[in-house]
């Protein structure tokens, strides 16, 4: 089968690789759509936890092509997506409701071969059955939306909270819709792209600010919740300056693994701040699927372009258009 293989940082090729035949309790999916995530870019650049060679891709949809031994409840031809995160179920963290910190954590497209290929093999217990009403394009948003659901569960927006969100990319746009439906009285969104900010305004932002106008337009203002969705160190550092007393901060964007930013321990103590991380998903794929299927969160407008596997090589190798949102691959 054809697959995009990252052989080492900044080096990827299209190769003919062995078909991933399902083993015990696994299925093989014929991939229809797969999304390109910021994490895939980090993997390509060598700044994430992955080893090489690797077939990336963890946001995907398709149909079951082959079923392995001991799998029940599914049939060849079923339309599915899958949670890429694979938890052992028996370590201390899995047994104390912290599975996304699993000591034996694995992930499709991150630590094992993923969906930037004609076929991908996954454990059957990670499958999500797609409703007939859901397109494959929408199905490839289940995993990123599940990340948003987990973030919202962590954040616990209260009625009337004033929120500022840094980053209006594809994930930021999904956060805009989720936050605006969760009781926030104000949702300010900051980004470098005017076109992305216009989309944020259409889907729930109460005001938008270009990054280079931030200091003049929001000087001295404080918020109850600050959400960072870029992973850029300078943006993260700036975001902390907008935290009010007893504010909550959510780090949603993925930064390079070696990045650090300064933080005042006294302010953390004195201002009674809460700082939250949001590591991937935590059994949140079904709620995410329901949000998309019921149209509570819109995703179709977030697809800026659809590429072939061959075109994806150029996407990885060259600068990205800052106005693009989600890029998907059609297999």
Q: Has residue 59 been placed in a domain?
A: yes
318 pLDDT higher than 80: yes
Percent of all residues in the chain with a pLDDT value above 70, rounded to a whole number: 100
pLDDT score at 176: 98
110-127 per-position pLDDT tens digit: 999 999 999 999 999 999
**Binning pLDDT at 50, 70 and 90, where does residue 258 land?**
confident
* Residue 294 belongs to a domain: no
Query: 174-207, pLDDT tens digit by residue?
Result: 999 999 999 999 999 999 999 999 999 999 999 9
Flag whether 282 is in a domain. Answer: no
Same domain, 114 and 206: no
What's the mean pLDDT in 98-107? 94
Respond yes or no: is residue 260 known to be catalytic: no
Q: Does a structural domain hold residue 61?
A: yes
- Do 242 and 184 fall into the same domain? yes
* pTM of the full structure: 0.94
Asked whether residue 121 falls in the same domain as residue 155, the answer is no
Give yes or no: residues 68 and 183 share one domain. no
Per-residue pLDDT, 180: 95
Across the chain, mean pLDDT equals: 95
Q: What is the pLDDT of residues 2-59, one digit of tens each?
A: 999 999 999 999 999 999 999 999 999 999 999 999 899 989 999 888 999 999 999 9
Answer whether residue 211 is part of any domain: yes
172 in the same domain as 103? no
Per residue in 264-291, pLDDT tens? 999 999 999 999 999 989 999 999 999 9
Q: What is the mean pLDDT of residues 242-260?
A: 93
Residue 320 has pLDDT above 90, yes or no: no
Could you tell me if 169 and 234 lie in one domain? Answer: yes
DSSP per-residue codes, 66-114: EE-TT--S--TT-EEEE--EE--SSSTTGGGT-GGG-TT-EEBTTTB--
Q: Do residues 9 and 73 both lie within one domain? A: yes
Same domain, 181 and 307: no
Element (H, E) at 162: strand 162-166
**Count of the separate structural domains present in the chain:** 2
Mean predicted confidence (pLDDT) in 71-80: 97
Q: Are 137 and 155 members of one domain?
A: no
* 213 lies in the same domain as 133: no
Is the confidence at residue 319, as pLDDT, over 80?
Answer: no
The reply to whether 230 belongs to the active site is: no
User: Per the domain annotation, does 11 fall within a domain?
Assistant: yes
Give percent above pLDDT 90 in the chain: 92
Q: Which domain holds residue 314?
A: 2-141+299-330
Q: Are both 37 and 93 inside the same structural domain?
A: yes
Using alpha carbons, list the distances in angstroms from residue 128 to 29, 61, 114, 211: 12, 9, 16, 38
Over residues 139-158, the pLDDT tens digits come to: 999 999 999 999 999 999 99
Active-site annotation holder among 42, 58, 65, 282: 42
284 belongs to a structural domain: no
User: Closest Cα partner for 2 from 290, 315, 309, 249?
Assistant: 309
Query: Mean pLDDT over residues 55-78, rounded?
Result: 98
Q: Which of 28, 34, 39, 327 is an active site residue? A: 39
Are residues 219 and 130 both part of a single domain? no
Are the CB atoms for 309 and 327 separated by under 8 Å?
no
> Within a domain: residue 110?
yes
CATH code of residue 157: 3.40.50.720
Q: What is the CATH number of the domain that holds 322?
A: 3.90.180.10
């Amino acid at each position: 089968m054809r697959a995009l293989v990252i052989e080492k940082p900044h080096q990827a090729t299209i190769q003919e690789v062995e078909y991933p035949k399902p083993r015990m309790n696994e299925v093989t999916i014929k991939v229809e759509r797969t999304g390109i995530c910021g994490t895939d870019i980090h993997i390509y650049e060598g700044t994430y936890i992955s080893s090489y060679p690797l077939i990336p891709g963890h946001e995907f949809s398709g149909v079951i092509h082959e079923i392995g031994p001991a799998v029940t409840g599914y049939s060849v031809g079923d339309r599915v997506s899958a949670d890429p995160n694979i938890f052992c179920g028996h370590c201390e963290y899995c047994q104390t409701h912290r599975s996304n910190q699993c000591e034996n954590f694995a992930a499709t497209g991150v630590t094992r071969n993923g969906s930037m290929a004609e076929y991908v093999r996954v454990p059957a217990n990670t499958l999500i059955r797609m409703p007939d009403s859901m397109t494959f394009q929408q199905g490839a948003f289940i995993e990123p939306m599940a990340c948003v659901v987990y973030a919202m569960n962590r954040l616990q927006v209260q009625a009337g909270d004033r929120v500022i969100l840094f980053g209006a990319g594809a994930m930021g746009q999904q956060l805009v819709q989720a936050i605006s439906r969760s009781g926030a009285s104000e949702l300010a969104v900051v980004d470098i792209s005017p076109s992305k900010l216009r989309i944020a305004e259409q889907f729930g932002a109460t005001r938008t600010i270009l990054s280079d106008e931030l200091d003049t337009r929001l000087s001295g203002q404080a918020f109850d919740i600050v959400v960072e969705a870029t992973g850029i160190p300078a943006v993260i550092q700036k975001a902390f300056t907008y935290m009010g007393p007893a504010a909550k901060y959510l780090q949603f964007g993925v930064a390079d693994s070696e990045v650090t930013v300064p933080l005042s321990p006294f302010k953390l103590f004195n201002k009674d701040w809460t700082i939250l991380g949001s590591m991937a998903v935590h059994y949140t794929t079904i709620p995410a699927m329901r949000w998309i299927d019921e149209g509570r969160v819109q995703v179709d407008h977030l697809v800026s372009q659809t590429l072939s596997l061959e075109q994806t090589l150029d996407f990885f190798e060259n600068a990205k258009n800052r106005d693009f949102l989600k890029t998907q691959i059609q297999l």
